[in-house]
Chain A
Amino acid sequence: MGRKKIGILVSVLIVGGALGYLALGNFGENLVYFFTPTEVKAFSSDYYQKKVRVGGMVVKDSVHALTEKTGLTFELTDGESTIPVAFEGIPPDLFKEGQGAVVEGYWTHGHQFQSHMIMAKHSEDYMPMELKRAGVELPKKDFMKSLQQ
């Protein structure tokens, strides 16, 4: 009988704990999945050199591959502010100018974001290349708005 009671308690705790985690831990205002470039620029010095994620759109014509080592530099924008990013490594396949990216790394005293990890944030539209070339635009969420949520 005792073991059964413990079992019931554990089951209820799993459900309650999972829901509680959603309500308090993850989605409280104190924790966001990524910062925007505007927020990064406003960082107090406590945040410098601290591992964070930043999300934004890769600025057109800002990507430059490094030749001395494997890596690249580019700019990330949320429409309001733009920050420079230095990345070491091979960027993911879908990393592209004019598309979303979430970079992991830290904001330095030299006001540059240093990263070893890029995640591509793709949009929700899907179509064949022929349509894209023909200039078709499907309805989708304004990317900059999705950064401000």
Chain B
Amino acid sequence: MTAFYLRWGVVLVIAMIIVGMTVRDYEQHLASVSPAQILDDPPHGDVRVQGLVKAGTLQGNLEEGFATFALGGDQATLSVEYKGLPPENLRELKLLIVVGQWDPASQVFRARELALLTHYGFVVSAYLVGLLPLLLVLFFMGRKVSLLFEEIKQSKLYQSE
């Protein structure tokens, strides 16, 4: 039985390492803030802001990779100026993430990249829902089989044939 638990321990440790790396990767590269947080506490350097492209505010020339729009959150709205590659996913009434820097002097967010929502909660729950039950079922089945083999070994069922 010790070998059995040992093998499962190794699997668990490796799984934890991958989960840890994923969480760290998300926090470093993908986590985003709301427009209100930008206004309350103006950040330095690159940030990712998530909001809704407000209806009737999108202007510019998308084919040339230039656009201005208002990005709304629950409490506050940012004016965004985008310059970069022609955006694939920009339209009004769309939730998205703008990547760039906040310019406090002109009160404009200068975005150089637009990204889709990460939906990380959905991704993580799909992996947990999809894999955890498999591991649990496998663990209890494996344990049962080991116990059954032990029971057969120890019992005198086969000696007095």
Tell me the A residues contacting B by CB distance below 8 Å. Answer: 63, 65-67, 70, 72, 90-91, 93, 95-97, 129, 132-133
Contact = CB atoms under 8 A, between A and B. Distances in A.
B88 A65 contact: no
B contact residues, range: 10 to 19
Interface stretch (B26-34, B91-99, B102-110, B123-131): B91-99
Contacts, number: 33
B91 A96 contact: yes
Q: 9 smallest A-B Cβ distances: which pairs?
A: A65-B55, A65-B92, A67-B56, A65-B93, A67-B55, A90-B93, A91-B93, A93-B117, A72-B93
Nearest to A72: B93
A63 to B, nearest CB: 6
Contacts of A65: 55-56, 58, 91-93
Interface of B: 52, 55-56, 58, 85, 88-89, 91-95, 116-117
Q: Is chain A's binding surface mostly helix, strand, loop or mixed?
A: loop
Contact of A96 (B85, B89, B95): B89
